[in-house]
Amino acid sequence: MLTVLAAAGVTGSTAGFVLSAQSQDHALWLIVGFTPRRLRWTLRLEILALALVGAVIGIPLSYATATGILWQWSTIGIVAPGQVPIFEMWQPPTVLLLTVVSAAWGTWGVTRRASRISEMAALREARSGRPHIGWLTAMTAATLFGAGCVIILAITAFPLGGPDDRAAGALSALLVLITATLLVPAWTIRPLLWLWTALVPSRSSSWYLARETCRFASTRSLATVVPFAIGSSLVAVLHGGGTVSGGGSSLAEVGVLIGPTLLVSWTGGVCVIALISRSRSRDHALLEQAGAPPGTVLRVASLEGAIYAATALLYGLVFLLAAVVLLHAVADIGLNSAMTSLPWADFTCLAGLTMGTSIGAVLLSTARRDSRRGARTP
């Protein structure tokens, strides 16, 4: 279920970002004679077709992935060795439905807004890159946030059951809060990005350019940070919180629990970085025309990737600290022992992989785009 939710979140946010990034083209379509209704349904059918194609391609790959997951499960005794996936007729239609619903969720409000906003306003927003949150998404996030808070109040005010039951309730509440906050990243992750980057004491021009790029292009920044934030927060709550509450697990067991989710999240983050390489290449071309040396352009790109990864890791750190404090309050776990028992080595490895994946993807997409642009230059 965690993997399905992560895949739905990555699919919806990526599809929504793709349409938001094309708002300038949509404004031009309206200028040349597209009616709002025609534009809205053209965009929705486009996303529907892409979602169906992606789901059809993914169905055979999913059985190959499931075979690898079952082998992983067999190593710790969950299933018998040699177990293979069992095909059922309901599985392909379910995958198609989930993919289409995820894409529709992420793009319904974007397509509706694209058909209602004026042409000049669309052109301005294409320049600013400011994200927008639909009322349905905001209501869903508020409902989930309220549900998470109610669970926390219930296990603290009415301590029913044993410490293990209360610890499980606390971790469940944090998972609900993760879902709620990631539904509205413009209200949660965006302020976090602005806050911590403002506290960095640096006079480097490369840092300044990378920071302002991430702040200015909020839509693409949030679309990049969200997939990595899904992975870091789930590891913080499930691995860190589970270890503190006494349910220590090996790396193999952690891989079984959230390995597929991390794979989906990181893959989504890399795909978004590849999608925004066109706009990033345009920014770098402007820097080069302004006289910036190639080394500065590469430093800006690497710092931009570092900002994405650091924001996602700080988001996970917030939930890790929340898990420790909450478990201390409801399960009588000492703060000192909790901080000592945390798997810091695993967290360090995760932080390094996240940072390396983000920076490497940004540099690779930038280098490929710049090489193609150079090849086209006479």
Amino acid found at 65: T
Model pLDDT for residues 226-236, shown as the tens digit of each residue: 889 998 998 89
Q: How many residues does the chain have?
A: 378
What pLDDT score was predicted for residue 190? Answer: 92
pLDDT at residue 122, as a whole number: 59
Q: What is the DSSP letter of 291?
A: T
pLDDT at 32: 79
The sign of the dihedral angle between the CA atoms of 29, 33, 35, 41 is: negative
Output the six-digit token pair for 350.
Answer: 């995760």
Specify the DSSP element, H or E, that contains 156: helix 135-157
**What residues have CB less than 8 Å from 205, skipping those under 6 apart?**
296
Q: What is the pTM of this model?
A: 0.82
Residues 6+ apart with CB under 8 A from 49: none
CB 170 within 8 A of CB 323: yes
Cα 164 to Cα 73, 172, 245, distances in angstroms: 25, 12, 7
CA proximity to 217, closest of 285, 126, 307: 126
What are 77-131's pLDDT values in tens digits? 888 888 889 889 998 998 888 888 888 877 887 787 777 766 666 556 555 556 6
pLDDT in the model for residue 162: 80
Rounded to the nearest 5°, which phi and psi values hold at 180? -65, -45
CA separation for the pair 286, 43 (Å, rounded): 31
Residues 6+ apart with CB under 8 A from 343: 239, 240, 243
Tell me which amino acid residue 376 is. Answer: R
pLDDT per position as a tens digit, 28-46: 787 777 887 888 888 888 8
pLDDT the model gives residue 249:
61
- pLDDT value at residue 356: 93
From first to last of its 378 residues, what are the pLDDT tens digits of the chain?
Answer: 777 777 777 877 777 777 777 777 777 787 777 887 888 888 888 888 988 998 899 888 888 888 888 888 888 788 888 888 988 999 899 888 888 888 887 788 778 777 776 666 655 655 555 666 777 788 989 999 999 999 999 988 887 778 888 888 999 999 999 999 998 998 999 999 999 999 998 878 889 888 988 888 777 788 889 889 998 998 899 888 888 887 656 666 777 777 888 888 888 888 888 877 766 666 667 776 777 676 777 888 899 999 999 999 999 999 999 999 999 888 888 888 889 888 898 899 989 999 999 999 888 877 765 565 554 554
Q: Which of 15, 217, 34 is closest to 119 using CA atoms?
A: 34
> What number of other Cβ atoms are within 10 A of residue 159's Cβ?
16
In whole angstroms, what is the distance from residue 206 CA to residue 291 CA? 13
